[in-house]
Structure formats: C-alpha cells, structure tokens
Amino acid sequence: MISPLKRFLTIFSPALRVAALYLLIGGGWILFSDRILESLVQDAAELSRWQSVKGIGFVLAMAVLLYLERAHDIRQKRREEELLSQRLALFDNAPSPIWVVDLNTLSFLAVNPAAEQFYGYSRDEFCQMKLSDLRSPEEKTAIGGMIEGLTRQGSYRYTTRHVRKDGSVVDVSVTGRKLMWEGQLAAVFSITDITELLQNEQALRELTQQLEQKVAERTADLQRKNRELETFAYSVSHDLKAPLRGIDGYSRLLLEDHAQSLNEEGREFLHAIRRGATQMAQLIDALLTYSRLERRSLSISRLEIQPLIQNLLNEFRLEIEKRGAQVIVNLPFEVVDHDYQSLYQALQNLLENALKFSANRSHPRIEIGGEEHPHSHILWVRDNGIGFDMQYHDRLFEIFQRLNHNEDYPGTGVGLAIVRKAMERIGGRVWAISAPGEGATFYLEIPKRSLNL
C-alpha cells in the first residue's frame, strides 16, 4: 500500500516537490517556532541566541532535504537510463527485424540492425521511407485495416508480403503493439520470415496431392487386378473343375460297369485316378477359399466367442463322435474384436488339423482356451497329436507347405496359410508351440479395438 508521503512525492515533479516541501516546512517553522521559544525563554538575550540556533537548524534541515531530493532524482534518472539502455540493447541485438512506426504518418522512427540486414536498407534510408514502401502492390490496400485493428486492440498479428531492396519478395508474419515513442503515438513491429515455412507447406500439399493421385492409381490398379482375380477364380471354379468332374464320373462308371473287364491293377489305376481328381478338386476349393479371403472386405465387430465356438463344434460333431475325441472349451472372456467369417475360417482350419493329427491317439483330446491381455485376446487350440519339430515352424504357414506325406495325413497345404492371412488382415498374428510326439498348440492373437457399436 502506498503511503501518503510517497503518493505526494510521485504526483509532482522534483522542482515542485522541493518548492512545496519548502513552503510547508518554512511556513510551519515561522508560525510555530517563535511562539514555542517565547513561551520557553523569558530573557531577551537568551531568546536572541535561540533564534540564531533556530535559523541555523532551519538552513541545515533544508540542506538535508535538498540533498535527499536531489539524490532521489539522480537515482531515478539512473534507473531510467539503465532501463532505456537495456531496452535499446535488446532492440539492437534482437535476431529478428524490429522497427518502430509513427501510426499517424506511417514513417519509420527506428529500426534495428537485423531489419537493415534483412531488407537491405540502411537506417537512414528507412527514416526516409514509409511502411507502405515495403508492401508488395497487392498487399498495400490492407494497411488501413491493419492500422485500424492495431489502434483499436492495442496489438495485432498478421501475415503479409514484403519487398526487399533487391526486389525479392518474402512472406512474413508481423506482430505489432501500440506504444508512445518520444511523445508520439507509435507501434513496434516484430517480423518473422515465413517464406521457407510456406514453401515447405506448399511442397507438402503438392506431395500430398501426388500421394493421393498415386493411391487413386494404385487403388484403380488393385481393383482391376481384383476383377482379373475374380475372373481367374471363376475360370478355376468352372473350367478346371468341370474336367475333373468328368474324369471322376467316367472313372466311376468304368468301375461300376466294366470292373469285371479289368484286372486288379487296372481297377487300382482307376481308384488312383479318382483319388487324384478328388484331391485336385479339394486343392482348387482351398485356393478359392484363400483368394476369397484376400479379396473379401473386412467387417470387424465385437463378437460373442462362445456361440461361434459352439457353431464350430456342431459342424464337426459327427467327426468328433466318430473319433471319440474329447473337446474341452475354457475361455476366460466373452467377446473379441474380429471379422466373423475370417475368425470362423481360422478356427475351423485349426480344429480340423487338431482332429486330423490326433486321430491315431487312443484318446484324442482337444482344448480350446484363451488368455486376456491389456491390448489383445489370445485364443489357442491344443491337441495331443503327433506334433512337429519347431525348426519347421515358419514353413507351416506358407501356402502348399506340408510336413507329412499326403498318404498319411491328407490335406492341401493351404489351411494354415488361410489362418495366417485371416489374422494378418486384422493386425493380429498366429504362431505355434510343439514338439514331435507331444501334440501342438496354435495361438491366435486378436488385438483389442475401440469400436463404436
């Protein structure tokens, strides 16, 4: 809180303060000192001596007062000079161009060395110029709005284009703030060169457009290839399977109607032809399934896993009963984020493999379980079948790669490739852990997603 004396001292100039204090002290001294002395001293000679002392005291008091006032004034001026010197040092040493402009005439009042270097004009040349001399022709009309906004708001920020002395045009960001400069209404402006930034933004926009064009071209190319693949799949499904059906049909008729005309070797040849045709048809179906999985659009949603597993077990019910297999389901979670058809196809292939490779066990056992992690769900299918050597792990998931002879365990070599593709398409993965003769466990990692359902 400011005391009355400090408030008094800050209202008037130093000269007025000294005069006012002199009047107050001198007037009070004249009015009261003589009366006090007359009441205390009765002898005239003694009174005269005390009056002399009083006068000397008054002179000393005023001398001290004048000294204190002068010392205060000097300290104040020194602080102002130091502050002005610091401001001028900041102004001169600032790395960005700064100038001061008279808001009435738009003439330059001061510029820093960075402005001289950036624009190519000397300080004397700036003093002969106006703010509009730096504007490009198309930007000059906007000066009026800038000055109006700066005068009204006290500060203003805008982007414009300036022309340097050598004729080059630069894009700049300008921040202005209103102030009083040597008694004139003025504004200080700080300038930032944004030419390179805008060029980078333009280059980024052009690059984005190029990328969008390439994406559009690639998308069109992909759509074209998908149409070709669909045509190919149609040809495979109809043109290739038709001869197979003919081979299988005619070989069956030979066995049914002319078996007696053939010896044992001939009949065995016909059976081999039929098995080959059947295997070829199965391979074609597997390839079609793989290609459809690749082309089909995903529809990832939150799936209830128990009904899906139950539908899967119902599909394999007869085979499970036939082989006397025990199937145990133990899942610690109820939902996963996946495409229903893809997940169903993956689990279907894993369950089919588990039944096939545990068929020679006296008590086939299959477990379907899972684990929940912070960012994913893990589903696994475990069997007690023949297992495999882990050195062939990666080979398992390649298309047409098989570790067993077809005579022992029939198959197409496409099933696990379908499982891997189904997981890769949703950002998940598949892997297995096994050892020869100790069964195998296949794991599906399904990422958790934020779905607005």
d(CA 186, CA 106): 9
Residue 453 has a pLDDT of 43
Count of positions (residues) in the chain = 453
Helical segments of 358-414, H only: 393-396
Query: pLDDT (tens digit, 0 to 9) for every residue of the chain, 453 residues total?
Result: 445 555 555 555 666 766 676 667 666 666 666 666 666 666 666 666 676 766 777 777 777 777 777 777 777 777 766 665 565 556 677 788 988 889 888 899 888 888 888 899 998 898 898 888 888 888 888 888 888 888 888 888 888 888 899 989 889 988 888 888 877 888 888 888 888 888 888 899 999 999 999 988 888 887 777 677 667 666 666 666 777 777 777 777 877 777 777 788 887 887 778 777 777 776 777 667 766 666 666 778 888 999 999 998 998 889 888 888 889 999 988 888 888 888 888 888 889 888 888 878 888 899 999 998 888 899 999 988 888 888 877 777 776 666 665 555 666 667 788 888 888 888 888 888 888 888 889 999 989 886 554
| Domain 298-447, CATH homologous superfamily name and number | Histidine kinase-like ATPase, C-terminal domain (3.30.565.10)
Q: Residue 435: how many CA atoms within 13 Å on its side-chain side?
A: 1
Q: Please identify which residue in the block is written with the tokens 């994913």.
A: 376
Which CATH architecture fits 94-193?
Answer: 2-Layer Sandwich (3.30)
Residue 235 is encoded by which pair of tokens?
């040809």
Beta strands in 37-165 (DSSP E): 98-102, 108-111, 155-163
Amino acid at 171: D
- For the chain, the structural domain boundaries read 4-91, 94-193, 199-295, 298-447
Residue 367 has a pLDDT of 92
Give the Å distances, CA to CA, from 316 to 271, 319, 322, 324, 439.
27, 5, 10, 12, 20
CA-based end-to-end distance of the chain: 63
Which contiguous run of DSSP H or E holds residue 193?
Answer: strand 184-193
d(CA 77, CA 369): 86
Do 298-447 and 94-193 have the same topology in CATH?
A: no
Whether 278 and 403 have beta carbons less than 8 Å apart is answered as no
d(CA 137, CA 227): 56
Measured from the Cβ of residue 198, the count of other Cβ atoms closer than 10 Å reads 14
